Amino acid sequence: MVTVEMNQIVYQRPESLADMPTHYCPGCTHGVAHRLVAEVMDEMQIREKTIGVAPVGCSVFAYNYFDCDFVEAAHGRAPAMATGVKRVLPDRVVFTYQGDGDLASIGMGEIVHAAARGENITVIFINNAIYGMTGGQMAPTTLPGMKTTSSPSGRDVEQMGFPIRMPEMLATLDGAGYVVRRSLHDPKNIRMAKKAIRLAFETQLRGLGFSLVELLSSCPTNWGLTPVESLRWIEEHMLPVYPVGDYKVAQALAGLRV
């Protein structure tokens, strides 16, 4: 049995997370993703040398929640903006935090070329299969048959095409150093996600090129499910389409334990 001293702190807000409430809906996993990134920044002691790039979408206000320098990009352009920062300040840590509409739809060009260039930045990619901020429209990652406010009869792949698997695509590029998918639907997967985020930042610090962690995330509000049902929905419906896995791991990272 584990005993805990009454005055021992076992859980607190990471220093890299600003002390303020977020605007995220109850049950949304953005909060978990934010916390994991902040914990990694604390552990690596990089908060004071990090510049974050926020996207357009539900995490548009991400800049408020991290206690580090932040800039706010135009929709989809975070990888280009991050490139601008990183090229001027190559010794700083630069990361983008982007949703699926931002990264896989309007920002497809920017993300692909940042990866192809081996741009030494880290990308946290939130995939919840929907446009959250604008109220639940179809995203490039929306599952076949999935109902959204702009695919009311379900995504018909004949008309609306197929979901895009970003890590699988980006892993084909030589500039990619670390490209993986994780999920935030249960504690075990959350722990795996944190390790991946750590490795992604380690990739950047070691100058091994572009790093991206896709995080399968929930959107209870726009999915019309409870928070618990949403996590189950990730497991049952998203995981088969978006398998958790390592799609590209630079050889130099192979022996690294975090």
Partner 1 sequence: MPRELLKGNTAMAEAAVRAGLEAYFGYPITPQTELLEYMSKRMPELGRAFLQAESEVAAINMVYGAACTGARVMSSSSSPGVSLMMEGLSYIAGTEVPVVLIDVVRGGPGLGNIAPSQGDYNQIVHGGGHGDYHPIVLAPSTVQEAIDLTVLAFDLAEKYRAIAIVMADGNIGQMMEPAELPPMRPLRTEYPDWSTRGAEGRERRILSSIYIDPKEEEVMNYRLMQRWRTIEANELRFKEYFLEDAEYAVVGFGTAGRVALSAVRAARAEGLKVGLLRPITLSPFPYARLDELAEQVKAMLVVEMNAGQMLGDVQRATKERISLNFYGRMGGITPFPDEIHAEIHRMVEQPLPPGSDPRAAWLDSFASVLHVDGR
Which residues make up the interface to partner 1 (CB under 8 A)? 18, 47-51, 53-54, 60-61, 63-64, 66-74, 77, 80-85, 87-89, 92, 109-110, 113
- Least separation in angstroms between CB 179 and partner 1: 19
Minimum CB distance to partner 1 smaller for 72 or for 168: 72
Q: Is 194 helix (H, G, I), strand (E, B) or coil?
A: helix
**Phi and psi torsions of 151, nearest 5°:** -135, 65
What token pair was written down for 107? 């920002």
Minimum CB distance to partner 1 smaller for 35 or for 49: 49
CB 96 within 8 A of CB 123: yes
- Least separation in angstroms between CB 33 and partner 1: 19
Minimum CB distance to partner 1 smaller for 71 or for 252: 71
**CA-to-CA dists, residue 19 to 55, 97, 108, angstroms:** 21, 19, 33
CB 216 within 8 A of CB 232: no
Minimum CB distance to partner 1 smaller for 67 or for 100: 67
- Least separation in angstroms between CB 254 and partner 1: 30
- Least separation in angstroms between CB 139 and partner 1: 21
Minimum CB distance to partner 1 smaller for 18 or for 44: 18
- Least separation in angstroms between CB 190 and partner 1: 26
DSSP state of 9: -
Neighbours of 24 (CB within 10 A): 19
Separation CA 248–CA 211 (nearest Å): 9
- Is the C-alpha dihedral spanning 39, 60, 225, 213 positive or negative? negative
- Least separation in angstroms between CB 47 and partner 1: 7
**Phi and psi torsions of 23, nearest 5°:** -95, 5
Minimum CB distance to partner 1 smaller for 15 or for 235: 15
Separation CA 86–CA 258 (nearest Å): 25
Q: Is 55 helix (H, G, I), strand (E, B) or coil?
A: coil
Residue 37's H or E segment, with its range, is: helix 30-44
Minimum CB distance to partner 1 smaller for 112 or for 160: 112
- Least separation in angstroms between CB 199 and partner 1: 22
